[in-house]
Amino acid sequence: MDEMHRDPDPQPEPEPEPGPPAMIVGVDGSESSIAALRYAAGLASRLDLRMRAIAVWNYPSFLYGGYYPQLDWTPEDDAQRIVTKAAEEVFGDTRPEWFATRTRQGRPTEVLIDESARAEMLVLGSRGHGGFAGLLLGSVSAACAEHAHCPVLVVHGR
């Protein structure tokens, strides 16, 4: 290529941002999700991986016939309390530097599958809140196992 057809001075490449967490753990406050977080924490520690616990929230489709009373409660605050409590249960007061928490709005299955596109592994409990006793997998863990963009580890409670 001659000098006349060369692109003008290219823009410098931006500094790379730290990558996404290697492991995403779905947390809903159930015993199964706490077991998944505990198991994932052990793996992340041994394998020197970053990990994020995520709780998904959404507004109820209706409340009191479509009326939303003003409350001091929000589903986002509830999700934050759930993920914070789960982290405290697993790590105590001192969280490791490789661990973070996050909340996201949406349907759990859709959000976790979306998060899986930027992770190396998705870790879930086998049964969350709201399932039927006796099922091997909950609907969220089954759907994620089928549709995630990365390997999925389903942890059965211990």
The mean pLDDT of 12-41, rounded to a whole number, is 79
- Strands 23-26, 99-105: pairing kind: unpaired
What's the rounded mean pLDDT across residues 109-122?
Answer: 95
Nearest-angstrom CA–CA distance, 141 and 154: 7
CA distance 137 to 157: 11
The stretch 142-154 carries a mean pLDDT of 94
Question: Is a pLDDT exceeding 50 seen at residue 49?
Answer: yes
Distance in angstroms (rounded) separating the CA atoms of residues 15 and 107: 33
11: pLDDT strictly greater than 60: no
Mean pLDDT, the chain, whole residue set: 81
Q: pTM, whole model, 2 decimals?
A: 0.78
Phi and psi for 132 in degrees, rounded to 5? -100, 135
Helices (H), 54-138: 75-91, 108-116
From residue 108, how far is each of 17, 65, 93 by CA, in Å?
Answer: 26, 24, 27
